[in-house]
Amino acid sequence: AVRNFTLNITITNLPFTADMATPNSRKFKSTEKVMSYYVDPLLQRSSIGPAYIGCKVMAFRSKKNRDNTGVDAVCSCRDEPSGPKFNRETIYHELSNMTNGITKLGHFSLNSQSLYIDG
């Protein structure tokens, strides 16, 4: 079985542009690739790592008058009886630790109050 969960963050040094709101635009696709480049390794190193399948960015949103960009993703992991169990609080704390207290994602700066995981 596959378990889906949402992951939301706000990037404070990535200004939002209108073309980021269009899923098939070049800007959306390139920004989505960059997000996967940074997010996938974190979740692979988390407690669900062996069961982690991947994340798909669903939307980029304007935050703070387009100065910041909100990222909404749906992530998946295998939910197997013998495998690691998904625990959103554990994943939250692991991602917080791996992003310097929810402040850094690669060369991106994060709003430290923006990490949200729902499963």
pLDDT at 20: 96
C-alpha span between 10 and 20 (Å, rounded): 14
Which amino acid type is present at position 51? Answer: A
CATH number for the segment(s) 2-118: 3.30.70.960
Distance set, CA 5 to CA 14, 19, 86, 87 (Å): 24, 26, 9, 10
Domain boundaries along the sequence of the chain: 2-118
pTM (2 decimals)?
0.91
Nearest to 112 by CA among 14, 12, 45: 12
pLDDT in tens, the chain (119 residues): 899 999 999 999 999 999 999 999 999 999 999 999 999 999 999 999 999 999 999 999 999 888 999 999 999 999 888 877 889 999 999 999 999 999 999 999 999 999 999 97
